[in-house]
Every structure is written in structure tokens, then in C-alpha cells.
Amino acid sequence: MARLSREVQLRRADLVLETFRRMRCKEELSEAVTPFYIWRTDSNQVLARGVLGYENARDKANELRKKLDLHWDQVKFKSEKKSKSFGSGGGGGRVVTAKNYNPSKRSYFKGVYDAKGNYADLD
């Protein structure tokens, strides 16, 4: 009985280890394909775009800092992830204006239907 529980414990430990390894590989892959942009903080000028991977962005930012003779706090980099908000993007949505007037906004009530048919207020 004790031997069986020991085997079960070893299987569980192997399962946890394998899960951790898969998560780590997935994280490394996502970091390698994430594009970054590098900008100058004092003027908000974008110095580089589309640098793939965290380490590459860090190295490129350091290279640009040295090339342009800037301080450490004058060059930063950030992921180019775009956030999608409701109703924006390629499909957009159908904007509907109601017959009812909204006196507090001095306009008519407005809303948008997304591609799935869901409705959201715009005002």
C-alpha cells in the first residue's frame, strides 16, 4: 500500500514538472514572437518598431542609447500589443440612432450592434 502511494506521488510530481516545462516553453515562445517598439522618453520619438523578443528589444534599446549618446532613463521599450475594445476593429459594427431624444446629452440615444448581434450603448 505504501509503495502504491509512493508511485502515485512520483506520477503526480512528474505531471507537475511536465506542466511547468510546457508553460515555460509556451512563455518563451510568446516572448520570442512579441514585437516591441523603442522610444525616447523626453520627446516621445519612436526610435524602432517591430523588434521581436524581449532580449532583442533590450539589446537594441541599449545599442540605440549608446549610438545617440542618451541616458538610461531616456530610452524605453514596450510591447506592441494592441487592445481590442468593443465595436472597434475591422468588422466594426452597425451604429443605430434611436427616435428618442436625450436632453442631458443634447443628442439622440445611440448604440452599436457587433457581429454577433450584441447591443452596446454609445452614450
pLDDT in tens, 50-87: 888 888 889 999 999 999 999 989 999 988 875 444 44
69 and 101 in a single domain? The answer is no
Convert the pLDDT of each residue in 87-121 to its tens digit: 445 456 777 787 778 788 788 888 888 777 787 77
Q: Which residues contact 49 (CB under 8 A, 6 or more apart)?
A: 35, 37, 38, 80
Question: Model-level pTM?
Answer: 0.44
Q: Which residues contact 35 (CB under 8 A, 6 or more apart)?
A: 49, 50, 51, 52, 79, 80
73 and 97 in a single domain? The answer is no
Q: What are phi and psi of 103, to 5 degrees?
A: -65, -30
> Largest Cα–Cα distance in the chain?
77
The 3-state DSSP class for residue 116 equals coil
76 and 39 in a single domain? The answer is yes
Cβ contact 80:96 at 8 Å: no
Lowest mean pLDDT among 12-16, 36-40, 80-84, 112-116: 80-84
24 and 56 in a single domain? The answer is no
70 and 96 in a single domain? The answer is no
53 and 87 in a single domain? The answer is no
77 and 87 in a single domain? The answer is no
118 and 90 in a single domain? The answer is yes
Number of domains in the chain: 3
Which of 3-7, 9-13, 43-47 has the highest mean predicted lDDT (pLDDT)? Answer: 43-47
| 26 against 86, higher pLDDT | 26
Across-strand partners of 75? 40
What is the Cα–Cα distance from 8 to 23, expressed in whole angstroms?
Answer: 23
Structural domain span for residue 53:
34-81
62 and 89 in a single domain? The answer is no
92 and 122 in a single domain? The answer is yes
Cβ contact 95:110 at 8 Å: yes
Helix, strand, coil proportions of the chain in percent (round to 5)? 40, 30, 30
